[in-house]
């Protein structure tokens, strides 16, 4: 027997949506890697039967390396599009390991996800040692007196992020620097690493090295983390347009302390997974 999936993308963030509601299979780290070997993705969004009656599914999120993330903004929007097409109401709740996420239809076919409340405490990120002020932590790479990158803002939006403020996101070799920073001892759970350039009081350009996935064309949670960090450091207002290599997101950090992310999704193709991909890996 084969199990259907949908290959999608959220402004270029490569997403596989696997709906296991009503099925008995579960995805392990090994199975996620095996699925990625057949159909490459940045994130695999797995839907299980809801645990709560007010949600449509319980969702788990895997990176291509098999590690699990508690947040994926672009993937959640792809799941939203898929469920809207299957008849879901124009506003519904999903549950993830980070909590409840509201997904809503927006204008022009876009999808909005309420990514929840950001956390800024050093132990929430988490960081390996206390920092009183996470708007700029002591972290640098390169020569001590002429660092290449330094003093990132850090935030947790369901997953850990470090944002380095730069004048040109293309001036750095993020593919070389990213792995070093992702695995820096200051981040005990690793971190997603962003380069952010503030281009206007309501606009950012962003390039992201994702934990467990590498350089991607877009990262929704990184856009959220960069937007709230930009507002928190008075670089921008609370509503910004974030331009990533794959497209644009609008991030609104509301007065109620919620992060609303709006952007496009795209269906690419359907596919089938052999069911022994789960058995072999169990």
Q: Which residues are annotated as a binding site for substrate?
A: 13, 43, 63, 73-74, 159, 192, 210-211, 220-221
Residue number with CB closer to ligand LBFN2T5F (43 or 153):
43
Contact 188, 126 (CB under 8 A): yes
What span, in angstroms and rounded, lies between the C-alpha atoms of 17 and 22? 15
Q: Which two tokens stand for residue 228?
A: 């709230």
Alpha-carbon separation of residue 202 from 205, 238, 250, 261 (angstroms) = 11, 8, 10, 14
Minimum CB–partner distance for residue 144 and ligand LBFN2T5F (Å): 29
Nearer to ligand LBFN2T5F, 74 or 236 (CB): 74
3-state secondary structure of 157: coil
Residue 72 annotated in active site: yes
Instruction: Work out the angle between the directed axes of helices 220-232 and 73-85 (0-180°, nearest 10).
Output: 130
Query: Is 224 annotated in the active site?
Result: no
- Long-range contacts formed by 233-241: CB under 8 A, 24+ apart: 233/135, 233/136, 233/153, 233/165, 235/165, 235/198, 236/198, 236/200, 236/201, 236/202, 236/203, 236/204, 237/201, 237/202, 239/202, 240/202, 240/203, 240/204, 241/202, 241/203, 241/204
In the complex with ligand LBFN2T5F, the residue whose CB is nearer, 166 or 223, is: 223
Q: Which residues are annotated as a binding site?
A: 13, 43, 63, 73-74, 159, 192, 210-211, 220-221
Q: Give dist(CA 40, CA 15) in Å, integer.
A: 9
Give the residue with the Cβ less far from ligand LBFN2T5F, 23 or 106.
106
Residue of 46, 219, 227, 260 marked active site: 219
Helix (H) or strand (E) holding 26: none
Least gap, CB of 243 to ligand LBFN2T5F (angstroms): 15
Helix (H) or strand (E) holding 199: strand 192-200
Residue ranges binding ligand LBFN2T5F (CB under 6 A): 13, 42-43, 63, 69, 71-75, 159, 192, 210-213, 219-221
CB of 247 to ligand LBFN2T5F, least distance (A): 12
Nearest approach, Cβ of 24 to ligand LBFN2T5F (angstroms)? 27
Beta strand pairing status for 13-19 and 43-48?
parallel
Of the listed 18, 31, 72, 230, which one is catalytic? 72
- CA 162, CA 244: separation in Å to the nearest integer? 16
Query: Would the CA dihedral through 251, 254, 259, 262 be positive or negative?
Result: negative
Residue 10 CB, nearest approach to ligand LBFN2T5F (Å) = 6
The smaller minimum CB distance to ligand LBFN2T5F, of residues 74 and 112, is found at 74
Active site residues: 72, 219
């Amino acid at each position: 027997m084969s199990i259907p999936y949908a290959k999608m993308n959220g402004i270029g963030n490569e997403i596989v949506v696997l709906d296991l509601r009503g099925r008995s299979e579960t995805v392990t780290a090994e199975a996620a890697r095996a699925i990625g070997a057949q159909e490459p993705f940045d994130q695999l969004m797995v839907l299980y039967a809801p645990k709560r009656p007010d949600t449509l599914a319980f969702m788990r999120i895997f990176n291509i390396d098999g590690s699990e993330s508690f947040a994926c903004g672009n993937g959640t929007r792809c799941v939203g599009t898929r469920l809207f097409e299957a008849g879901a109401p124009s506003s519904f709740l999903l549950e993830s390991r980070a909590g409840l996420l509201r997904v809503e239809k927006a204008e022009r076919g876009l999808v909005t996800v309420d990514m929840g409340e950001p956390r800024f405490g050093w132990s929430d990120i988490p960081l390996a040692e206390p920092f009183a002020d996470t708007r700029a932590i002591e972290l640098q790479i390169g020569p001590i007196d002429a660092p290449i990158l330094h003093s990132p803002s850090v935030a947790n939006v369901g997953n850990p992020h470090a944002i380095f403020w730069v004048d040109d996101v293309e001036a750095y070799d993020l593919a070389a620097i990213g792995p070093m920073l992702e695995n820096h001892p200051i981040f005990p759970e690793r971190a997603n690493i962003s380069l952010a350039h503030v281009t206007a009081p309501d606009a950012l350009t962003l390039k992201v090295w994702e934990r467990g996935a590498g350089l991607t064309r877009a990262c929704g949670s990184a856009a959220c983390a960069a937007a709230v960090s930009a507002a928190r450091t008075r670089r921008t207002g609370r509503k910004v347009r974030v331009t990533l290599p794959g497209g644009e997101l609008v991030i609104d950090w509301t007065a109620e302390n919620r992060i609303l992310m709006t952007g496009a999704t795209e269906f690419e193709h359907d596919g089938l997974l052999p069911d022994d991909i789960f058995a072999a890996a169990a």
